[in-house]
Structure formats: C-alpha cells, structure tokens
Structure 1
C-alpha cells in the first residue's frame, strides 16, 4: 500500500472506546462507503468511510464492521465482513485483503466474507435490544445521494422493526475530535509532505506560469511521497482570483506584480493537512501587499493565544472578529463610522474577512467535532485568517494546523515558510 498503516493496537483501542459507551445488549454496525460511478463504466477513486476506518483500519470497499459486546459467545462480539476475492477479481482489480490480512490490519480475530453477513447478523440481532447505526451528521453535510449507510438503515428497520435504534454519529464525533498520538503522527506526515510541495513551488513560481502548472508541481511531490494526492480540491488563485474563497478553476496565468494564494494540503493514510500560503508571483511583495500580509500574520498569531482548552469555537470566532476589525481599521479598510453603523448580524469586518478562522482537522478536512462545547487538549484545528480586497486585487490568507495542548499548542506546520522575508529570500535563491 502507499502509506505506512497505523498498528492494529490503535484500532483495538478505538473499538474499546465505543464499547464503553454503548447501552447494554447493543449491536453497532458500520458500513464502508460505496464506489461511486461517473459515466459509462467509470468510477470515482474509492475513499473509505472515516468512522469504519477509525474503528478498523480497513481501507477497502464492501466492508462491514459489527460490534456486539454482550453477545454470549466471545468470538462473536466483533466481526469484520470483507469482500470475498477470487482469481477473476485478482486479474481485473488486483489484490484484495485476505481474512488473515484483515485481522492483522484491524486486530479483529473473526473475519467473515460479506456473503455471510445476513445469516450472522440475524443471529446477533436475536439477542440484541439496541441497534446503533451510523449516518453522516456533519453540520455542513449536504448529502444528495443515497449512501450505503442509508440503504442499510432502511433494510434493517424494515427487517427488525421492534428493536430500539440509536445514533452512532454523536459517539464517533466525540472520539474522533480528540486525536491519539498515532493520528497526530499521520497528520504530521501529511503536513511534512505539504511542506515539501510548497518549497518545490517556491522554486518554480514566476510571471507567466499557469496556475494549473503549479497544481501539477504540488501533485507530483505529494504522490511521489506516498500520498494519494490532494486532501481536497486545491485552490491555486493568482491576482483577483484569491478573493474567490473556493476558486478551483486554476486556469489563469500568473502575472508580474500579483500575489498567488495556495490553499492546498496532502493527505496521508486518510489523514489530512490543510495549508494556505500567499506569495508574490515575481518574488517580491509590494509595500501594500506586505502591509496586508503582515496584518494577516498578526491576526494569525493572536488566534494561537485565544484557541485553547475551555473556550468554545463560537466564543473564539466572536473574539477573532474583533481582532480582525482592529486590523482592518489599521489598514485603512474600515473606519469607526463603519463600525458604529454596522448591522450586528453582519459585522463590518465581514466585508473583507467573511469566513471562520478555524475548523477541526483529521480524517476529514472539515473534521467532526462539536462547535458548541469547550475545546479540549488533543484536538487539531486549522488557523486561517484572511483579508480580501477585490478593489485592490489583493487576497491574502495564511493557514497552519495546530494541536491544542493543556498549556499552549503544537504547530504542525511551524517548519513551513511563512515569514515574508523568508518567502522573498527563498524565492530569490531558486535552484
């Protein structure tokens, strides 16, 4: 496989967390994601369901994990069902996990073929009262296709209507929000690969280069180091394109005198990095560009001191709005009159900074985790302030990934160049 997998002990530990929170006489079921179609006989690249992956480490389609901790027979308390392979599949699709390999990867001793699922599940359900089923309950999810989870919920409730059904997602959100050391190592690897991609870019950026050429440079470095590629659709936005928050066309020519904003990150082992840097196309910031850049950097460094245990994301974002408001006034973009006359539901600072400063990061780029309860040590967040001035053709965002600690934080991207003097020096010393 491309990446170095986490040891099975990590997944054993994760399943133990879940078992501890299940009601008595419960069964929990986790499904893999589907292989999604494109057109004709084409399919998209497979991406595993993150909850199943978090509990098993299995990165293969047509997989089901069943946990039934109170079942009388000990060897039936956790069962992994995987796709049965044969010579035909091996020829056309390549190697699929054997039962022994699935045990080694997950730490689950009982691995059955998926074709056995209905019969085994019926036995388990006969002695279970509560059924935990999983859904995508991310606050920003917009699910427009029927998932494997959704189909199973329908068939399970139809076949077993008298059981008590419960939601697995709130439990999974709680577990996944606080990262274990093994997860931090994977995220750090993704950040390290992202760093190498960015340093590669600093050597090739010049007036006249296409945004998509820079995208290709990142992708080359990411894949070369065992990543499957970008953690999300990359934003390579030069000039005024940087004022479009989700600009992903990446099809324009980088012009002399403009800035270029990179919002990119590598994935590694299904964990993600999320970095943003803004650099001058010609290697030298103008006076105004540097002025705005340093303003964003000051806001970023202030955010580090506010984002800490005990604070809620809502409180943090409110305070960061005031920090940004002060910075925009210093830059001559807002006046006291603008502040005094603002709509309280749409603060004046949002004209130039219209998104949040931080989000959870992990197996999902916008990872699961509460937005309303206090932050805890072990959570990983982005810190990504930005100032966007369309009338000046300036869009600057800076973003690092940090681990919240009891006292302070660990910057997983502290080694990635961000100081404007360092950026200019590296760009002037192209190899």
Structure 2
C-alpha cells in the first residue's frame, strides 16, 4: 500500500511532562569526547541548544509522539534552509521549530525521519558529511558520525544520498506525517530556559529604564548588547521601541525616531536562550517621572494586568480567551473611572488586540493551537493588556495620544502563576526610583 501523505496532525504532537532538572539548561556540552567527534579536541563545536546536555529530553519527545501515532506511520521533517538577506549576505540560521523540538539538531541541509515499529521507533537523520575544506569557510558542523553518536540517531546518512535511501526507510510505512504542530505544555527543562531568558531580559529592560534616552535606535541597541552580555543568543524578535504616539502602532519596528522627555516610550522586547524566547513589554516616561495623567492611565492598565496574572493557574479553570474577557472588563471599569466613554464597541479601539498568546520556541507558539484550550500547569503564555488612545476629541483630553502596554511571560502553575520576567520592574514607585539611585 502506498504511503498516505498528510498535511498536518496536531493531535499527535504532545510534549512529555518531565521531572525538574535544571541541568537541562546548562551550557552546551563541551567535553573532550564531544569535541573530538566534531573535530580536533579543543576545536569549537557547532551550535547546539542548551538542552543538549541531556538528550533524553528529545528522545522522550519523540517517544511520546510515536506512541500516539497509528501503526505503520512515520514522521518526516526537513530542516530549515539558510535565508538570504541580499545576494550572498545571509541571515543567522534558525532551525525549523518542529525539527528542533524533536531532534535538537541545529543545522541546515538535514532531514529527520521517525518510523514507528512494533514497540518503539527508528530515528533516521540525514545531514551534511564532514568536509574540512568547506568547514574552513563556514565553520564546523556535526557530520554523519556525530548524528549517530551525539544526536542519538539510530540510522544516520549523508543528505546527498537521501533520495536513494529514503524509499528503503519508508518501505513498510503506509502513512506519513509531514507538518508537525506541537501542543504547548512545557516540560520543566523548557520552562527553565524561558525563565533564564526572562530573567536576563527583564534585567536588561530595568537597566534601560535607569537611563535617559534621546533616540529609539540607541535604546534598542542597548537591549541587544545587554542580552549578549548576559549569555543570551540575542533578540527573540525585532523589538518595538516606540516613543510618544508611535506607541499607538502595535507592531511599530522602525525604531528610528526621537524620544521626547515629556512622553512615554513603549518597549516590547525580549531575548532568547536555547532558542526559547521571552516576551516583555514595559512603558515608562522618557524622563523617568510620571505626570498625574500618565500615572492614572498606567495604573489602569497595570491593575488589569495584575488581576489577570493572578488567574494564570490551573485551578482557576481559565483559558486565554476567558482571560481576555476578564482583562477587557477590568480595563473598561478602570477607564470609565477616568472619564472614558467605553460604551458600545469603543473598547475595540482602545484595546484592539488579544490579551495573550502561547510562547516557547516561537514568539506565537504554536499557530493553530486554540486560545480556548483550558490552561494547565506547564502552559507558557503572555499577559499583555494595553490601552491606545487616539489623538482626537472622542477621548478625554489628558490622555490623548498615549499608548501603554504592560506584558509579562507567565508559566501556568497548579495553584499559582510563575512570572518568568519579574526582573523587569513595572510599579510606578519602582520605575521612578531607578533614576534616583
């Protein structure tokens, strides 16, 4: 029977729940044994994610996936390709999410195949063979032996021969899954990586608030530097650094404007660690001191965020959609007290986006995973209420042109939320105190 090719099968992709092991997020393995496989002992090994110290994490993910598949099934996943900015100028390589999640292998020109057997699975990995001449130009890569000996492939081969070998590997397969959607119930190892990213990114934002900035680009550059200095891999996404009314533009990323002392600056930024991301937004006065109107509107948003974060626990029985409704109600009540007319659909103007999304290996993790899913321990999400007041006479004069968003990354717990980004200060008194220290 010929294989049946399916576009996707979201229900099959459920990561395991593993015991806590902070060692999963230690630095990449650099032992003599591993370095010797990649090249001469002491040579710089290829890029590997922090979870590589315990490859059981990836084995357990594959085993959990395979156990949910019907007999005679296989999962076929290509790696990402190198993307070019212009001509021969390429972007930094970023592995395809599902491929990375199931293998940990961070190299292009690769193909992973998982074939279900009677009681187990066979993990095939095709990749580039070692090539000293090419590696002199582009840096070291793993090679076929390391695919087997380090990355635990049961069968490893040269990607240049995959067209001859793939058919044999699929000989008894009748159904092939080619597009994995991974449900987002994070293991302790994943949460630990996001916590490290959140901690370092939060400290970077707090350090930014201590200083006076004249240009958006300078602030953005400072954050990137702080991420690298703290051991992160850099920005998880292009940041938003929006001064004044540009904060009304939800995904403003030009970051090339002047910052005025009497206005807010809204910064939506975060770093990544082991390809796991954090997502934070903070809004503060450029001069470090809130005016009465700025403080009133800011507190309206912060109060709503605090309340919604308190519900990020499994025993609250919430979903992201329910949290959005709760947040919008809080914002409506708070804004009404400030003199806003929030009748009809006017909240759609003031609060035009959802309160949160799932996070993990991607900033919006995973596309298609429903916001109506009940939140369980291990889910990682954002809570990001915002208010964006157009500069027209439909709104109270004191607040016109202000844009405020406050966002944290949260790991849902059984009885309590775990804020992964708590180092980024957000109370008015704390923000103002930074310039006094």
Superposed pair shares fold, TM > 0.5:
yes
Partner of 1:107: 152
- Do the aligned partners of residues 103 and 328 (structure 1) sit closer, same or farther apart at CA in structure 2, a change above 3 Å counting? farther
Distance in 2, matches of 1:11 and 1:271, equals 15
User: Which of residues 60, 66, 69 is equivalent to 2:113?
Assistant: 66
Partner of 2:282: 277
Partner of 2:375: 375
- Do the aligned partners of residues 34 and 2 (structure 1) sit closer, same or farther apart at CA in structure 2, a change above 3 Å counting? closer
Matched, 1:173 2:182: yes
User: Which of residues 393, 397, 411 is equivalent to 2:401?
Assistant: 393
Matched, 1:4 2:50: yes
Aligned-residue CA RMSD (Å): 1.9
User: Which of residues 68, 77, 83 is equivalent to 2:122?
Assistant: 77
CA shift for structure 1 position 101: 3.4
- Do the aligned partners of residues 284 and 3 (structure 1) sit closer, same or farther apart at CA in structure 2, a change above 3 Å counting? farther
Query: Contact 1:260–1:278 (CA<8 Å) still a contact in 2?
Result: yes
Partner of 2:27: none
Secondary structure of 1:229's match?
coil
> Deviations for 1:229-281, whole angstroms, at most 9, x for unmatched residues?
21111001111111111111111111111111110000111110100011111
With 288-297 and 82-91 compared, the bigger mean Cα shift is at 82-91
Partner of 1:329: 336
Partner of 2:17: none
CA shift for structure 1 position 2: 7.9
Distance in 2, matches of 1:123 and 1:2, equals 30
Q: Which has the higher helix share?
A: 1
CA shift for structure 1 position 333: 1.7
Distance in 1, matches of 2:390 and 2:285, equals 17
User: Which of residues 344, 348, 351 is equivalent to 1:350?
Assistant: 348
Distance in 1, matches of 2:124 and 2:48, equals 26
Secondary structure of 1:408's match?
coil
- Do the aligned partners of residues 71 and 82 (structure 1) sit closer, same or farther apart at CA in structure 2, a change above 3 Å counting? farther
Matched, 1:416 2:424: yes
Matched, 1:359 2:351: no
Secondary structure of 1:29's match?
strand
Partner of 1:186: 193
> Deviations for 1:313-366, whole angstroms, at most 9, x for unmatched residues?
2233223222221122112122xxx52xx2xxxx32122111111100100001
Matched, 1:221 2:191: no
Distance in 1, matches of 2:51 and 2:427, equals 34
Partner of 1:13: 60
CA shift for structure 1 position 120: 2.4
Matched, 1:426 2:434: yes
CA shift for structure 1 position 71: 7.2
Secondary structure of 2:334's match?
helix
Partner of 2:134: 89
Structure with more contact order per residue of length (Cα contacts < 8 Å, sep ≥ 6): 2
> Deviations for 1:373-425, whole angstroms, at most 9, x for unmatched residues?
32222100101111112322311111111111111211111232111101110
Secondary structure of 2:75's match?
strand
> Deviations for 1:271-310, whole angstroms, at most 9, x for unmatched residues?
1010001111111000110111111110001112334433
Q: How many aligned positions are there?
A: 378
Partner of 1:142: none
Distance in 2, matches of 1:124 and 1:2, equals 27
Query: Contact 2:202–2:422 (CA<8 Å) still a contact in 1?
Result: no
Distance in 2, matches of 1:2 and 1:27, equals 25
Query: Contact 1:27–1:131 (CA<8 Å) still a contact in 2?
Result: yes
With 17-26 and 305-314 compared, the bigger mean Cα shift is at 305-314
Query: Contact 1:3–1:227 (CA<8 Å) still a contact in 2?
Result: no
Distance in 1, matches of 2:248 and 2:149, equals 48
Query: Contact 1:283–1:428 (CA<8 Å) still a contact in 2?
Result: no
Secondary structure of 1:414's match?
coil
Query: Contact 2:51–2:57 (CA<8 Å) still a contact in 1?
Result: no
- Do the aligned partners of residues 362 and 215 (structure 1) sit closer, same or farther apart at CA in structure 2, a change above 3 Å counting? same
Distance in 2, matches of 1:348 and 1:5, equals 46
Distance in 2, matches of 1:193 and 1:231, equals 12
Distance in 1, matches of 2:425 and 2:267, equals 13
Task: Return the TM-score normalized by structure 2.
Answer: 0.82
Distance in 1, matches of 2:103 and 2:169, equals 20
CA shift for structure 1 position 111: 2.2
Distance in 2, matches of 1:353 and 1:184, equals 29
User: Which of residues 265, 268, 271 is equivalent to 1:266?
Assistant: 271
